[in-house]
Amino acid sequence: MNLIILGVIIGAISISVIKFAIKGKTSGSKGQEYTPTSDIYSGKNRDYSNHAPVESHRKAPYEEVDKRE
């Protein structure tokens, strides 16, 4: 009985490992990988300067509220 349970567990693990290995080998995802040259070909440049980028978000005004009410 112990050998049967052990066999079922090992079988389930081996089947899941085989499915995972087959799923990772699909050739459809080969062209979808990101590389740094993808940015170069699409025209994006990267600024590696030592200066911090300029803050571009807007600060919204708010109303002062009296909390003593």
CA–CA distances in Å: residue 14 to residues 5, 10, 20, 24, 43:
14, 6, 10, 15, 46
Max intra-chain CA distance, the chain: 75
pLDDT in tens, 37-68: 776 677 666 666 676 767 767 777 777 777 77
Residue with more model confidence, 22 or 1:
1
Percent of the chain with pLDDT over 90: 25
